Each structure stands twice: as C-alpha cells, then as structure tokens.
Chains A and B, each alone.
Chain A
Amino acid sequence: AQSVAQPEDQVNVAEGNPLTVKCTYSVSGNPYLFWYVQYPNRGLQFLLKYITGDNLVKGSYGFEAEFNKSQTSFHLKKPSALVSDSALYFCAVRVFNNAGNMLTFGGGTRLMVKP
C-alpha cells in the first residue's frame, strides 16, 4: 500500500533557526508528494508539491522540500523559522486507482517556533 510517515509528532525550533519537518514515503512507481499546513480552526493550505524534475522544490511562505529517492524522503525545510510558522504540517502522497487522484496523508507534525 502507498503511504507516507511523519516520524515526529512535534518539532520545536527557535525563531530565526532553520527548521526541518520529516516525511518518508512508500510507493510503487513514481511518487507524487505534497505538503500542506493547517492553522487552528482552518482548513489545509497547500505549500508545495513534487511531481518530477528538480529534487529541491520551492513553495509558499519561504518553505522548500527536498526529494530524496534513495532515502524515500521528502523533508520540508525553511532557512529561518518565524513564530507565525507554528502550525500543524501534513505530508501526503497521491495514490492512484481507477479514480486517479486520492491523497493519503501522514499523521501530521506540530511545529512550535519559540521567540
């Protein structure tokens, strides 16, 4: 079965420091990977996606993600964290069946950025 895993329930980082939120995937064939962010009482906001091409994907709000095929990882990164980045982050993989477009999500990682 195709899936993603987020090994950390919570990541703590000081404002101004670089941040990494980890995601590993298990898929057959080429992976199509996504990152979403969820603020309290809000829906999921799309950050970035990897379809093909460059392994470093740039997204919204200064976030980027690095696709690593050998390590089956798609970690989310930001060079300098802001307090406003504190939220719940979800990694997702596109699962293909006859319907073609289902997303399977990881369990989420809570990012806490402290001033």
Chain B
Amino acid sequence: EAGVAQSPRYKIIEKRQSVAFWCNPISGHATLYWYQQILGQGPKLLIQFQNNGVVDDSQLPKDRFSAERLKGVDSTLKIQPAKLEDSAVYLCASSLDRARTDTQYFGPGTRLTVL
C-alpha cells in the first residue's frame, strides 16, 4: 500500500515570497491533516479536512496561510508571503476517517527554509 506522498521535499525561498506544498494521501482516506514542525518541537496541527471540507483550521495563520482539498483527494498548502518564522517541516498526514481509533499516517514532509 502506497503511503502519503508529499512534494517538494525541500524548498528554499526568501522572505515575502510565496510557496506551495502538495500532498496526496493514502488511497481511500477521508481525513487529511497539515502539521507544522519547527526544529526541536513536536508537530502542531494547522488544518484538518474531511473529504473536501475544512473541519478545523483554528490554528492556521489565515492572513498568510491557505489550504485546499478541492476534489477530496490531494491537497495544497500555500504560504503568501512567507516570513522567517515559517521555516519548518510541513507534514501531511491522513487517516481513514475521524473515528477515535483511527491512526494518522504521515508523509515524509517538506522542509522549508525562509531566508
């Protein structure tokens, strides 16, 4: 079974530039998550989708971050404009559904460096 795919794996940009990350979840998984992992910390949830709808974006900095999952499968996370403090690894995860017993499976992440 293929895992969660993410691209690109690495991205270096200058502050105030824009960047986009792509995620393709495990086939059949209805729930998709984006996490931000700053160096030396555990991942923190940015946004959660159920199929093509947003169910939790309370921790997403909406003035600069946006995300979509238009067809309920793959998803894109965008930052515009980027700040130095956005340097982090952006992890995508998926789970079968939102049941309490469902496990979240993570992709390899995209390491973003903002100069």
Chain A: interface size category:
20 to 34
- CB of B20 within 8 A of chain A? no
Give the CA-CA distance A100 to B25 in the complex, in Å: 19
Chain B: interface size category:
20 to 34
- CB of A92 within 8 A of chain B? yes
What residues of B have a CB within 8 angstroms of the CB of A101 in the complex?
31, 48, 95, 98-100, 102, 104
Q: Mark B34-47, 1 if CB is under 8 A from A, else 0.
A: 00000011111100
Contact A32 B91 (CB under 8 A): no
Contact A99 B56 (CB under 8 A): yes
Residue from the list B48, B91, B99 in contact with A44, Cβ < 8 A = B91
What residues of A have a CB within 8 angstroms of the CB of B111 in the complex?
41
What residues of A have a CB within 8 angstroms of the CB of B105 in the complex?
46
Contact A36 B106 (CB under 8 A): yes
Give the CA-CA distance A46 to B91 in the complex, in Å: 14
Interface-facing stretch out of A13-21, A70-78, A79-87, A104-112: A104-112
Name A residues whose Cβ lies closer than 8 Å to a Cβ of B: 32, 34, 36, 41-46, 49, 51, 90, 92, 94, 96-103, 105-108
Other than the given A100-B98, A103-B104, A107-B40, 14 more pairs (CB < 8 A) read A32-B101, A34-B103, A41-B108, A43-B108, A45-B106, A49-B101, A49-B103, A100-B55, A100-B100, A101-B31, A102-B45, A103-B45, A108-B41, A108-B42
Name B residues whose Cβ lies closer than 8 Å to a Cβ of A: 4, 6, 9, 31, 40-45, 48, 50, 55-56, 91, 93, 95, 98-109, 111
